[in-house]
């Protein structure tokens, strides 16, 4: 047993930089343990805090007593709390806020109830309760002790992952003795709890067995397995083109970890959380997997969280927030598609799950595998320096050739679809094969322009053009959702002749219908995938051959395997190059490489047509020529010359508010203070700005930014810490500091 704590350190979810000390009254001394929540007096309020541990040698007089302990089971281990302390310090975010962010929303609702004076414990939920059965973890083969009926029941539990007693009785009749026996043998676990809302309950899973690895896969797996055996921290970069068998390496590496009694954490970008990927994990491992993604209701998320905390799930798959999963004994952390920007949280605690995976891996002495077909420039650089161990899978499984890519220059052309792409599309369609056409812009026309005054329709709240959506009959702001009926009249001069400029996926879809009237065309973008399951339905129609052409934004570029697609068309390849962001070329290269990789994954070799204004831009040319090494070389040279990451470390200040003048004054004041601290501390940090943000106005707020560029992390960190202690910010202005920013818009 842990010794009782008399004085405790508590983190409170408020924007305060420090933690607080409290006394533990006698009656709570057995339960006030590290990692639980406590209700504490704070000023004249009662707040929920997180117990970080005992405090010794504090000679602060008049310590207050905690009021109540809110959990029967600890939410966090002390090792995990260490990780959160690191996170709070690195991202310059209050620890209490970090902990609140890391907990599932379901629990935070309870916290609010707690504040109103009615604390609830973890096990005290009020929803309907059920007896549920599931496997305590992936089980290799069932032993012979149970009878035939018990084995059948076990198979069903394994298949379902998690199933209610009622459901089992429906299938097997009376089966309590068998269930009891299975639990005694440790083959199944039962628990009384709130209804488990299984988000995957409609899916049937077929078992899948490990593949015989090819040479490169085997080399990668051996290297990972050796590190797992040593129980050491070691980070790898698994660099393999699309279809080279990375996922198979992940699966077998995880098996190895499980055999050693160690658990696995798998981070994937939200977009990749399709049934395809999760289905493969379930097919390989059966139950014992927890899947966390944004489609879960608060209740479902909370259920999954508790399954993990209780050790009932040994593999956790999730989007970025899964890096905070309460998983014990982590042997391996995998970050799939590690280059994806979605690992970065863009508000609140602005963490990057890919970076935190390395930190948590080091603390847990785990093996970390960053996998990608198009690694980030940072990872390629780190591999060059030996900070990441490079594992390459240079060939596609079964040596399928890379597709042949043709670049079509579009300068001076008014067409959305070039003659080259039209004829390829027609041919592909006539041969009964499938095609994908990619355009990274949703909507009908990009925007409407007034023929009389020449002004484009812009959002009154944000300094961006409105996108014309013909089907909705609206011009829409993609940032704040502002909408006006379209085409409508010109807000500047009242003109009625509004012309379309540029093209979005909706327009492209219409052009394709004109080109191939009989073809079955699907469109996938955030307009057509907002309904629950709509994404899966579109993918399923491509996979079962009931569609010929799929049109879409970057949603179609990633993660999906369409074996029947032999043609990929890219319209306006430089759509993402125009961004005022030093990563624009990197993003464009990655996106194009991913889309190109969608062609010819099955038996038939693939063809790609890339339309661009400047077909010689190095991001476009390298992607088209499958010359990744050439791209990385050129990009790293550019970054070094310009002093951008990975050759420097950035922090971005965003200063925003409703009054342009106040924002501007606060921005100047902030820059002055930073400059002053810089010279006091003699840190090597460049201070750029203040300057108007690329999107100067967003949701009615004026925005300015200051960019800090540090030669090393510690100089930057010292400057920021000192600034936070001295800053005075007027209440009408918001300042956020983004460490290692990804989005500079
Ligand atoms: P990636 O994750 O790199 O895109 P996958 O692991 O999904 O690649 O592999 C691509 C396809 O090849 C999948 O259908 C997978 O089942 C199959 N595959 C992977 N490794 C092997 C192997 N060693 N032998 C046969 N098929 C394999
Ligand atoms: Zn807007």
Three-state secondary structure string covering 569-627: EECCHHHHCCCCCCCHHHHHHHHHHHHHCCCCCCCCCCEEEEEECCCCCHHHHHHHCCC
CA-based nearest residue to 727, from 710, 711, 706, 744: 706
DSSP 646: T
What confidence score (pLDDT) does residue 148 get? Answer: 78
Considering only residues 185 and 469, tell me which one the structure prediction assigns the higher pLDDT: 469
Q: What is the pLDDT of residues 22-76, one digit of tens each?
A: 999 999 988 988 999 999 999 889 999 999 998 876 667 788 999 999 988 899 9
What confidence score (pLDDT) does residue 182 get? Answer: 76
Decide: 214 in ligand 1 pocket, CB within 6 A: yes
Is pLDDT of 721 > 70? yes
Is pLDDT of 266 > 60? yes
In the sheet with 189-194, reading across from the earlier edge strand, the strands are 162-164, 129-134, 189-194
CA distances in angstroms from 734 to 378, 463, 737, listed in the order given: 30, 19, 10
Name the pLDDT band for 138 (thresholds 50, 70, 90): very low
Name the pLDDT band for 172 (thresholds 50, 70, 90): confident
**Which residues, in sequence order, are CB contacts of 736 under 8 Å at separation 6+?**
347, 350, 653, 654
For the residues 525-529, what does the mean pLDDT come to? 79
Rounded Cα distance between 131 and 198, Å, is 14
To test the pocket of ligand 1, the residue of 247, 284, 400 to mutate (highest count of ligand atoms within 8 Å of its CB) is 247
Is pLDDT of 242 > 90? no
In the sheet with 467-469, reading across from the earlier edge strand, the strands are 467-469, 474-476, 483-485
State the closest ligand 1 atom to the C-alpha of 242, by its place in the atom list counted from 1: 4
Rounded Cα distance between 462 and 337, Å, is 32
CA angle centred on 94, ends 93 and 98, rounded to 5°: 80
Considering only residues 467 and 106, tell me which one the structure prediction assigns the higher pLDDT: 467
Name the pLDDT band for 649 (thresholds 50, 70, 90): very high
Q: First CA to last CA across the chain, in angstroms?
A: 52
Rounded Cα distance between 226 and 389, Å, is 13
What confidence score (pLDDT) does residue 129 get? Answer: 43
Task: Report strand pairing: 701-710 vs 649-657.
Answer: antiparallel
Closest Cα to atom 19 of ligand 1: 245
Q: How far is CA 299 from the centre of its chain?
A: 20
What is the 3-state secondary structure of 280-308? HHHHHHCCCEEEECCCCCHHHHHHHHHHH
Q: Which residue has the tokens 């309950």?
A: 201
Ligand nearest to the CA of 220: 1
Considering only residues 579 and 78, tell me which one the structure prediction assigns the higher pLDDT: 78
Ligand nearest to the CA of 394: 1
Ligand nearest to the CA of 561: 1
To test the pocket of ligand 1, the residue of 217, 237, 238, 245 to mutate (highest count of ligand atoms within 8 Å of its CB) is 245
**Which residues, in sequence order, are CB contacts of 621 under 8 Å at separation 6+?**
407, 615, 627
Considering only residues 255 and 534, tell me which one the structure prediction assigns the higher pLDDT: 255
Q: Above pLDDT 70, what percent of the chain? A: 87
* Cα(210) to centroid(ligand 1), Å: 10
Rounded Cα distance between 223 and 243, Å, is 20
For the residues 124-149, what does the mean pLDDT come to? 53
What confidence score (pLDDT) does residue 652 get? Answer: 93
Rounded Cα distance between 741 and 745, Å, is 10
Decide: 243 in ligand 1 pocket, CB within 6 A: yes
Closest Cα to atom 17 of ligand 1: 245
What confidence score (pLDDT) does residue 145 get? Answer: 65
pTM of the predicted structure, to 2 decimals: 0.81
For the residues 429-451, what does the mean pLDDT come to? 83
Identify each DSSP E strand in 55-119 by its residue range: 68-69
Burial of 478 (0-12, 13-18, 19+ CB in 10 A): middle
* Cα(592) to centroid(ligand 1), Å: 21
What confidence score (pLDDT) does residue 113 get? Answer: 38
Ligand nearest to the CA of 563: 1
For the residues 201-222, what does the mean pLDDT come to? 81
Ligand nearest to the CA of 477: 2
Decide: 283 in ligand 1 pocket, CB within 6 A: no
3-state secondary structure of 310: coil
Rounded Cα distance between 527 and 441, Å, is 11
For the residues 450-465, what does the mean pLDDT come to? 78
**Which residues, in sequence order, are CB contacts of 488 under 8 Å at separation 6+?**
475, 498
Is pLDDT of 620 > 60? yes
What confidence score (pLDDT) does residue 475 get? Answer: 87
Per DSSP, the residues of 150-176 read HHHHHHHHHHHSEEEHHHHHHHHSS-H
For the residues 189-207, what does the mean pLDDT come to? 50
Q: What is the pLDDT of residues 299-329, one digit of tens each?
A: 888 889 999 999 999 999 999 999 999 999 9
Decide: 282 in ligand 1 pocket, CB within 6 A: no
Sign of the CA dihedral running 422, 428, 432, 437: negative
3-state secondary structure of 134: strand
What confidence score (pLDDT) does residue 133 get? Answer: 63
Considering only residues 582 and 265, tell me which one the structure prediction assigns the higher pLDDT: 265
Structural element, H or E, at residue 83: helix 78-90
Rounded Cα distance between 268 and 319, Å, is 5
Q: What is the pLDDT of residues 582-605, one digit of tens each?
A: 888 999 999 999 888 888 766 677
Decide: 244 in ligand 1 pocket, CB within 6 A: yes
CA-based nearest residue to 620, from 565, 578, 562, 580: 578
Considering only residues 160 and 375, tell me which one the structure prediction assigns the higher pLDDT: 375
CA distances in angstroms from 229 to 208, 218, 233, listed in the order given: 25, 16, 11
Decide: 247 in ligand 1 pocket, CB within 6 A: yes
For the residues 486-492, what does the mean pLDDT come to? 84
Task: Report strand pairing: 467-469 vs 474-476.
Answer: antiparallel
To test the pocket of ligand 1, the residue of 248, 277, 559, 603 to mutate (highest count of ligand atoms within 8 Å of its CB) is 248
Considering only residues 125 and 200, tell me which one the structure prediction assigns the higher pLDDT: 200
Token pair listed for 579: 């961004």
Pick from 306-315, 574-583, 630-639: least confident: 574-583
Name the pLDDT band for 531 (thresholds 50, 70, 90): confident
Is pLDDT of 524 > 90? no
Is pLDDT of 124 > 70? no
Rounded Cα distance between 555 and 547, Å, is 17
Rounded Cα distance between 158 and 206, Å, is 11
Q: What is the pLDDT of residues 395-421, one digit of tens each?
A: 877 677 778 999 999 887 778 899 999
Q: What is the pLDDT of residues 337-355, one digit of tens each?
A: 999 999 999 999 999 999 9
Sign of the CA dihedral running 401, 402, 403, 404: negative
What confidence score (pLDDT) does residue 422 get? Answer: 96
State the closest ligand 1 atom to the C-alpha of 248, by its place in the atom list counted from 1: 6
Q: How far is CA 549 from the centre of its chain?
A: 28
């Amino acid at each position: 047993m842990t010794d009782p704590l008399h004085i405790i350190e508590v983190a409170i979810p408020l924007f305060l930089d420090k933690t607080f000390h409290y006394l533990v009254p006698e009656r709570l001394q057995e339960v006030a343990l590290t990692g639980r929540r406590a209700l504490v007096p704070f000023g004249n309020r009662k707040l929920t805090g997180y117990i970080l541990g005992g405090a010794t040698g504090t000679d602060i007089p008049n310590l207050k007593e905690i009021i109540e302990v809110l959990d029967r089971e600890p939410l966090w281990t002390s090792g995990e709390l260490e990780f959160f302390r690191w996170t709070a310090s690195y991202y310059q975010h209050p620890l209490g806020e970090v902990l609140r962010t890391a907990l599932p929303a379901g629990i935070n609702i309870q916290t609010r109830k707690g504040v109103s004076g009615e604390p609830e414990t973890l096990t005290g939920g009020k929803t309907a309760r059920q007896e549920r059965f599931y496997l305590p973890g992936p089980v290799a083969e069932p032993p012979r002790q149970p009878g035939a009926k018990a084995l059948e029941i076990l198979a069903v539990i394994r298949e379902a992952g998690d199933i209610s007693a009622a459901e089992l009785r429906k299938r097997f009749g009376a089966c309590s003795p068998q269930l009891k026996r299975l639990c005694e043998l440790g083959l199944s676990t039962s628990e009384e709890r709130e209804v488990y809302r299984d988000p995957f309950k409609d899916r049937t899973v077929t078992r899948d067995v490990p593949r015989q690895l090819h040479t490169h896969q085997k080399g990668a797996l051996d290297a990972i397995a050796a590190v797992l055996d040593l129980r050491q921290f070691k980070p790898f970069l698994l660099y393999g083109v699309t279809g080279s068998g990375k996922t198979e390496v992940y699966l077998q590496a995880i098996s190895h970890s499980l055999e050693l009694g160690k658990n696995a954490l798998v981070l994937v970008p939200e977009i990749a959380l399709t049934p395809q990927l999760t289905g493969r994990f379930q097919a390989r491992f059966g139950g014992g997997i927890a899947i966390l993604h944004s489609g879960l209701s608060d209740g479902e998320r909370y259920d999954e969280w508790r399954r993990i905390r209780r050790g009932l799930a040994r593999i956790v798959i999730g989007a970025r927030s899964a890096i905070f999963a309460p998983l014990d004994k982590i042997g391996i952390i995998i970050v799939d598609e590690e280059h994806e920007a979605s690992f970065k949280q863009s508000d609140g605690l602005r963490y990057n799950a890919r970076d935190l995976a390395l930190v948590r891996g080091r603390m847990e002495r785990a093996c970390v595998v960053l996998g990608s077909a198009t690694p980030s420039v940072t990872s390629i650089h780190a591999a060059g320096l030996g900070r990441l161990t490079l594992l390459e899978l240079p060939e596609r499984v079964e040596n399928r050739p890379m597709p042949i890519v043709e670049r079509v220059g579009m300068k001076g052309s008014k067409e959305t679809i070039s003659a080259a792409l039209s004829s390829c599309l027609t041919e592909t369609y006539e041969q009964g094969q499938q095609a994908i056409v990619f355009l990274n812009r949703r909507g009908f026309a990009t925007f409407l322009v007034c023929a009389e005054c020449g002004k484009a329709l812009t959002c009154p709240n944000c300094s961006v053009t409105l996108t014309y959506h013909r089907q909705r009959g609206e011009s829409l702001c993609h940032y704040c959702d502002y909408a006006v009926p379209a085409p409508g009249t010109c807000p500047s001069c009242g003109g009625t002749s509004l012309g379309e400029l540029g093209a979005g996926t909706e327009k492209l879809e219409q052009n394709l219908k004109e080109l191939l009237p009989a073809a079955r065309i699907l469109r996938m973008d955030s307009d057509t995938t907002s309904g629950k399951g709509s994404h899966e339905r579109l993918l399923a129609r491509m996979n079962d051959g009931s569609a010929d052409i799929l049109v879409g934004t970057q949603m179609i570029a990633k993660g999906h395997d369409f074996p029947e697609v032999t043609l990929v068309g890219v319209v306006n390849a430089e759509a993402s190059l125009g961004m005022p962001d030093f990563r624009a070329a990197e993003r464009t290269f990655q996106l194009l490489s991913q889309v190109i990789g969608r062609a010819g994954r099955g038996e038939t070799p693939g063809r790609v047509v890339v339309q661009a204004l400047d077909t010689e831009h190095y991001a476009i040319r390298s992607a088209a020529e499958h010359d990744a090494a050439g791209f990385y070389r050129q990009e790293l040279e550019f970054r070094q010359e310009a002093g951008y990451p990975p050759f420097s470390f950035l922090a971005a200040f965003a200063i925003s508010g409703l009054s342009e003048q106040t924002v501007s004054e606060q921005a100047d004041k902030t820059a002055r203070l930073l400059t002053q601290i810089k010279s006091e501390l003699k840190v090597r940090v460049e201070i750029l700005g203040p300057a108007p943000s690329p999107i100067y106005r967003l949701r009615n707020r004026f925005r300015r930014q200051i960019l800090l560029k540090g030669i090393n992390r510690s100089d930057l960190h010292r400057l920021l810490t000192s600034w936070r202690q001295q800053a005075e910010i007027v209440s009408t202005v918001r300042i956020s500091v983004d460490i290692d920013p990804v989005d500079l818009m």
